[in-house]
Amino acid sequence: MRLHSPYLSADEIDRVHGASLRILAETGVRIHGQRGLPLLEDAGARVDHETGIARIPRELVEQTLALAPKRWTLGARNPALAAELPSARSGFAIDGTAAFMQDFATGERRYGTKADITAAMRVLGACDLAVMAWPPVAASDMPVGSRPLHEFAAMLAAFSGHGEHELHRREQAPFLRGIIAAFAGSEAAAREGHEASLVYCPVAPLVHDGPMLDAYLDLGDLDLPVMVLPMPVPGTTGPASLMGNIALANAESLSSIVLFQLAHPGRPLIYGSAVGSMDFRSGAFLAGTPEMAIQSAALTTMGVTYGLPTAASGCVSDAHQAGPEACIEKLLTTIPPVAAGADIVIGYGEIDGDQTLLLEQILVDNELAHLALRLAEGVDGREGAELLDDTAEVGPGGHFLAQPSSRRAARSDEFYEPALIGRVALDAWAAAGRPSMYGRARERVEAILAAPAVNGVPEVVLEEVDRILAEADLALADE
């Protein structure tokens, strides 16, 4: 028996969908850039060119929802790490583009660098539940105009699973095309393999950023998958109720699906969300709250209802330092989207409202993810699992230690054996120097970084990527 909790009833699902359709048809969305409005107008949306607002009819939403593929493979440079979507079990991803890094050696909180992305990818590669990477910090040491390209390249070079990231300017798109083709071997191989994808964040409320949208549409012929990730917050960029904010986020996702499917029917999409909540005393954004987790689960339910692969923010924390508060909030925000059936939960590695990366937190979060998955997997209720023959053989007053089923259980998935949580007697723990979960994680990070890199990229590929990046640095230096 598996734990499943959609966080929305059937009636509430219908109400959210209906409210989102009303928002799109009556309020509309503002489209910046050159490509979006003509697409919508040609398809029958009512477009006001003066304001840039397009009102999208129900029929167009339903038509384009039907075009989005319901099952596809999240590719990877290492084919063994590819993942079928939707998945029977949640996978996990590192969080993206924090401003700060907690230096592993000194503990100093500083701006992130390209080298930090490389180190984080190596640690993420040791996480058995990781199915997707996202450059976890902004590379502050790289030129602003070409920075996302450097971040993308560093991620793809150091992580052999699937990688996703974002662009900020249309002019960056041709260079990204070359980088992805270089890693895949050719544009045709990139188109077929889906080893990299794009993160698309509408600007709440109900705005589509022109440079980002145009860039992503330009790359549509490469069939790059897009994760749609709306981020409204109740009371600030979204209505001040969970139901209202869920409906708004869903409307932003639906409008994004319409745009991408009109331009390139059948382009792979992931229905995602990264909503939060607000500290009503200060106005600050909060990530590690029950309300955020509830919205993540509810929006996952909407994506599942539409039959799309899903992703949700989770395993997140507002704590300013690693420790109990971070673990409580991360576990709290992981369980609901997992229980709702999210294919990917995004949040590994970061605290401080998704603004600070810690390498050891990546491993701690993988442990927390295992705990959440074990809770969701519930009881093995297969026929014969009652082990009645064992009970009859042992009888009253006996013990089950010698039963073959007990030995099998010790090696089964029904009883999770943690990698970082210590389960030893008090005396043994004290004799070992009273190690902590974070201490064990630091030791593992040290070993990972000291070991040779795995699944490396051929030198000729890295040279080609460096050549493309050098061209991009020059061409985009005017920003």
**Residue 73, pLDDT score:** 98
Residue 164 β-bridge partners: 197
Taking the mean position of all CA atoms in its chain, how far away is CA 219?
A: 21
250 within domain boundaries: yes
Strand 277-278 and strand 356-357: pairing? unpaired
How much is the pLDDT for 72? 98
Estimate the crossing angle of helix 210-218 against helix 242-263, to 10 degrees: 40
CA-wise closest residue to 162 among 186, 189, 130, 188: 130
The CATH number covering residue 233 comes to: 3.20.20.480
DSSP characters over 106-159? T--EEE--HHHHHHHHHHHTT-TTEEEE---B--TTS-TTTHHHHHHHHHHHH-
Q: How many domains does the chain have?
A: 1
Rg (CA), the chain: 23
Contact 74, 194 (CB under 8 A): yes
Residue 71 lies in a domain: yes
Whether the Cβ atoms of residue 54 and residue 322 lie closer than 8 Å to each other = no
Q: How far apart are CA 198 and CA 162, in angstroms?
A: 11
Assess contact for 16 and 303: CB atoms under 8 A: no
Q: How many angstroms separate the CA atoms of 34 and 52, rounded? A: 10
Residue 281 burial class via C-beta count within 10 angstroms: exposed 0-12, middle 13-18, buried 19 and up: exposed
Q: d(Cα 479, Cα 466) in Å, to the nearest integer?
A: 20
DSSP 238: B
DSSP state of 73: E
Give, for all 479 residues of the chain, the pLDDT tens digit: 688 999 999 999 999 999 999 999 999 999 999 999 999 999 999 999 999 999 999 999 999 999 999 999 999 999 999 999 999 999 999 999 999 999 999 999 999 999 999 999 999 999 999 999 999 999 999 999 999 999 999 999 999 999 999 999 999 999 999 999 999 999 999 999 999 999 999 999 999 999 999 999 999 999 999 999 999 999 999 999 999 999 999 999 999 999 999 999 999 999 999 999 999 999 999 999 999 999 999 999 999 999 999 999 999 999 999 999 999 999 999 999 999 999 999 999 999 999 999 999 999 999 999 999 999 999 988 999 999 999 999 999 999 999 999 999 999 989 999 999 988 899 999 999 999 999 999 999 999 999 998 888 999 999 999 999 999 999 999 75
Q: Are strands 350-351 and 91-94 parallel, antiparallel or unpaired?
A: unpaired
Say if 115 falls within a structural domain.
Answer: yes
For residue 282, the model assigns a pLDDT of 94
One-letter amino acid of 439: G
* 354 falls within a domain: yes
Sheet holding 53-55, edge to edge: 46-48, 53-55, 29-31, 207-208
Kind of pairing between the strands at 83-85 and 91-94: unpaired
What DSSP letter does each residue of 370-386 carry, written as one string? Answer: HHHHHHHH-----TTTT
| 15 found inside a domain | no
79 preceded by a cis bond (ω within 30 of 0):
no
Neighbours of 368 (CB within 10 A): 28
Distance of CA 112 to the CA centre of its chain: 20
Alpha-carbon distances of 177 from 235, 281, 377, 400, 466, rounded to whole Å: 39, 45, 40, 61, 14
- Which pair of structure tokens corresponds to residue 271? 């229905």
Answer whether 147's CB lies under 8 Å from 138's CB: yes
User: What CA–CA distance (Å, rounded) separates 38 from 30?
Assistant: 13
Residue 262 in any domain: the answer is yes
Q: Could you tell me the CA-to-CA distances from 120 to 114, 155, 327, 399 in Å, in that order?
A: 10, 9, 19, 47
Distance, in Å, from the CA atom of 75 to the CA atom of 453, rounded to the nearest integer, reads 21
State both tokens at 18.
Answer: 């209906």
β partners of residue 53? 30, 48
Total Cβ atoms within 10 A of residue 153: 31
- The reply to whether 202 falls in a domain is yes
Q: Quick check: 437 and 420 in contact, CB under 8 A?
A: yes
SS3 (DSSP) at 302? helix
**What is the pLDDT, as a whole number, of residue 1?**
65
The Cα–Cα gap between 251 and 254 comes to 5
pLDDT confidence of residue 454: 84
Asked whether residue 26 is domain-assigned, the answer is no
Q: Among residues 9, 50, 10, which one has the least CA distance to residue 30?
A: 50
The whole domain housing 263 covers: 64-377
pLDDT of residue 455: 80
| 239 vs 387: CA distance, rounded Å | 53
